[in-house]
Chain A
């Protein structure tokens, strides 16, 4: 007789990246998010789950979408939120990240959602505070909740991960979205291809378990999902590609290219904000292929799931419990 599978429980104090999560952790978050997506469809889309908890969003880099999404997710869970932006924080007055962290901690907060321009800054913060730290994007390193909402959307559209072919197009080198997506998709059994100008593909990329191609045709053919990254126009100033025009010619996603090379039911994703007419045309961004707005909706549900799991973690203030004890 088959023994019923034991329910997987969440045991992480912080969410610093996809790298430290198991496949079971990822599925747990997605399943939890499904429940919250249902909550969001109710006439009163709010639950009292995190009442009394205080959540700080500490954004040391500009962001509209991610910060708003986290803020909304926290409010839907009845948590109190406090938003700190770099421009209004003491960073400009020369206070170190360590002191900022200690001061926040002294105010007895429960969670810090952090965005920072430096890779590893949330890891540093997590080492300094007892509060749970959620990485909302650190430099070019990771953006775990973006990857979670991306895989949630993929599961919603395709119903599976095993063997699903995902192509990520654009500036891979400077993309935390790409890194987190690659890690999440690989753990779930999807096949990832990355494509972009060679100058924007980081060293030894293949060792992350992805296929690297430089021709857009190769990335489009056979792909179930195409995740188009925002191209940051300031990279051109550093001579990482010759011109926006040439970028559009080689890597821009247009209806013609999709019609010629992609599957008919291909799913088009974009983490936003979109440079219409650059990495993707208006026609494609607003087409039936596009799930860009679903991603945004799902983002709130996924972030609610993350906040819920971390807010209800009995081991929140403890180190990771060795798995042995739970066998």
Chain B
């Protein structure tokens, strides 16, 4: 099945392309790009006024399967991914059981393949059962298809064990993704410590709960000469630590979620549990630091931390509701609204953060539209206005504070390995 996308603005930053040219796709690959292609194809897409880019890649998704299929399944998560323009998502291993064996990694990959939607790359656990006791068999997990390693949801508690994990992973050339949170400091906190936690009388999470572990893991990674990626970075101090490490030439990278650069802790004044996330929403000052980090390259990646939960789990006292919000379907719009419209980034810059850089860090051969590349393509209407309506959500969960909100920029077409999955906003499978 061949596809031709005409008249779009092809944004392919890896190959330095940003111009109005056509792209011809056949046999799952990009066959050629160029002005006014004469080729005929089974499907013709007119992308006049639209952006055509390599499919987005989310380094940080919670698909909940296996174990909590009531919240999300690989299929519903992959569907939400496509709706949001993501052709590949990385599934975090905090499932039940956690992804710490070859069998589980293969199960996730095969289950995802059957959906014919987004590609799912499992992230293997760093420690068996995510218990911070013993390392997983990382070499075998990598062979099974794990794209990186993380105990996301928790930090590896012992510094000694984290050091071993970084050493071992570096031997394999694997990326370690660290959820940075000192549980002693965070305690039973539910929101960022500051004026709002004081006013609202909510249990505070100090900023140092994050930055202390960022500092610890950067030190350990330096010693181990390892590749360390900081998950969902949220404070100005953490950004500064990463900036310093990069200046030193360390192999440190970082990701930020759309909600951390678009919302502050002042939102919690309504006690709306949709805003309860971990790390917690921070302050204006932090948002400025995160944006600066995105602009100067300190932060490499925008990742969603898509965290589906049941409605009745979130309809609770704030203290009792689980952390997390869904994000796959809103990530692109929030990035456009908060980074592009403000002139902080341009489209090639945004595509780097959402596709090129995640692929580079994961050693994943996508994020490029050169001839011969696997045809993972997203078509975006950059100025479309739409409302994120509960009834039209693709994810199984609706725990998003953006429900009912007007959004800018919409994904219209998504092609995965040369196969149409979304056409004119309609899901094909």
**Which chain A residues have a beta carbon within 8 Å of chain B's beta carbons?**
19, 96-98, 116-121, 123-124, 138-142, 176, 179, 202-205, 207-208
CB <8 Å contact, A97 and B197 = no
**Which residues of the other chain, A, contact B271 by a CB distance below 8 angstroms?**
119-120, 123-124
B416 to chain A, nearest CB (A): 40
B396 to chain A, nearest CB (A): 20
Interface residues of B in 303-321 (CB under 8 A from A): 312, 315-320
Q: Which stretch (B142-150, B200-208, B362-370) binds chain A?
A: B200-208
**Which residues of the other chain, B, contact A98 by a CB distance below 8 angstroms?**
312, 315-316
Known: A118-B320, A202-B204, A203-B204. A208 touches B315 (CB 8 A): no
CB <8 Å contact, B202 and A141 = yes
**Which residues of the other chain, A, contact B199 by a CB distance below 8 angstroms?**
19, 179, 208
**Which residues of the other chain, B, contact A120 by a CB distance below 8 angstroms?**
200, 202, 271, 317-318
CB <8 Å contact, A97 and B195 = no
CB <8 Å contact, B195 and A204 = yes
Type the 1/0 row for B366-378, where 1 means its CB is closer than 8 Å to any CB of A: 0000000000000
Nearest chain A residue, comparing its CB with the CB of B317:
A118
Nearest 7 A/B pairs, CB to CB? A141-B201, A120-B271, A140-B201, A118-B317, A202-B198, A204-B195, A118-B319
Nearest chain A residue, comparing its CB with the CB of B204:
A203
Type the 1/0 row for B307-343, where 1 means its CB is closer than 8 Å to any CB of A: 0000010011111100000000000000000000000
B250 to chain A, nearest CB (A): 32
Type the 1/0 row for B289-313, where 1 means its CB is closer than 8 Å to any CB of A: 0000000000000000000000010
CB <8 Å contact, A116 and B317 = yes
A208 to chain B, nearest CB (A): 7
Known: A118-B318, A119-B318, A119-B319. A139 touches B201 (CB 8 A): yes
Whether B22 is near chain A, meaning CB under 8 Å from some CB there, is: no
CB <8 Å contact, B202 and A119 = yes
Whether B167 is near chain A, meaning CB under 8 Å from some CB there, is: no
**Which residues of the other chain, B, contact A19 by a CB distance below 8 angstroms?**
199
In the bound complex, CA of A123 to CA of B319 (Å) = 13
Nearest chain A residue, comparing its CB with the CB of B318:
A120
CB <8 Å contact, B198 and A204 = yes
Nearest chain B residue, comparing its CB with the CB of A202:
B198
**Which residues of the other chain, A, contact B195 by a CB distance below 8 angstroms?**
203-204, 207-208
Nearest chain A residue, comparing its CB with the CB of B193:
A203
**Which residues of the other chain, A, contact B270 by a CB distance below 8 angstroms?**
123
Nearest chain A residue, comparing its CB with the CB of B196:
A204
Whether B153 is near chain A, meaning CB under 8 Å from some CB there, is: no
The number of residue pairs between A and B whose CB atoms lie closer than 8 Å in the complex comes to 66
**Which chain B residues have a beta carbon within 8 Å of chain A's beta carbons?**
193-195, 197-204, 270-271, 312, 315-320
In the bound complex, CA of A116 to CA of B317 (Å) = 9
In the bound complex, CA of A120 to CA of B194 (Å) = 17
**Which residues of the other chain, B, contact A118 by a CB distance below 8 angstroms?**
317-320
CB <8 Å contact, B201 and A179 = yes
Nearest chain B residue, comparing its CB with the CB of A138:
B201
Q: List 27 A-B contacts (CB under 8 A).
A: A96-B312, A97-B317, A98-B312, A98-B316, A117-B319, A118-B318, A118-B320, A119-B271, A120-B202, A120-B271, A120-B317, A120-B318, A121-B318, A140-B202, A140-B203, A141-B200, A142-B201, A176-B201, A202-B197, A202-B198, A202-B204, A203-B193, A203-B194, A203-B195, A203-B197, A205-B198, A207-B198
A90 to chain B, nearest CB (A): 15
B187 to chain A, nearest CB (A): 9
B160 to chain A, nearest CB (A): 25
A43 to chain B, nearest CB (A): 42
Across the interface, B200 reaches (CB within 8 A) one of A117, A119, A124, namely A119
B406 to chain A, nearest CB (A): 23
B202 to chain A, nearest CB (A): 5
Known: A119-B271, A203-B194, A204-B194. A97 touches B316 (CB 8 A): yes
**Which residues of the other chain, A, contact B320 by a CB distance below 8 angstroms?**
118
In the bound complex, CA of A205 to CA of B204 (Å) = 13
In the bound complex, CA of A202 to CA of B196 (Å) = 10
In the bound complex, CA of A47 to CA of B317 (Å) = 36
Nearest chain A residue, comparing its CB with the CB of B190:
A119
Known: A120-B271, A124-B271, A204-B195. A139 touches B202 (CB 8 A): yes
**Which residues of the other chain, A, contact B316 by a CB distance below 8 angstroms?**
96-98, 124
**Which residues of the other chain, B, contact A117 by a CB distance below 8 angstroms?**
319
**Which residues of the other chain, B, contact A204 by a CB distance below 8 angstroms?**
194-195, 198
**Which residues of the other chain, A, contact B198 by a CB distance below 8 angstroms?**
202-205, 207-208
Further contacts, 4 of them, CB under 8 A, given A120-B202, A123-B270, A204-B195: A120-B271, A139-B319, A203-B193, A203-B204
B359 to chain A, nearest CB (A): 40
In the bound complex, CA of A299 to CA of B203 (Å) = 28
B199 to chain A, nearest CB (A): 7
In the bound complex, CA of A124 to CA of B319 (Å) = 12
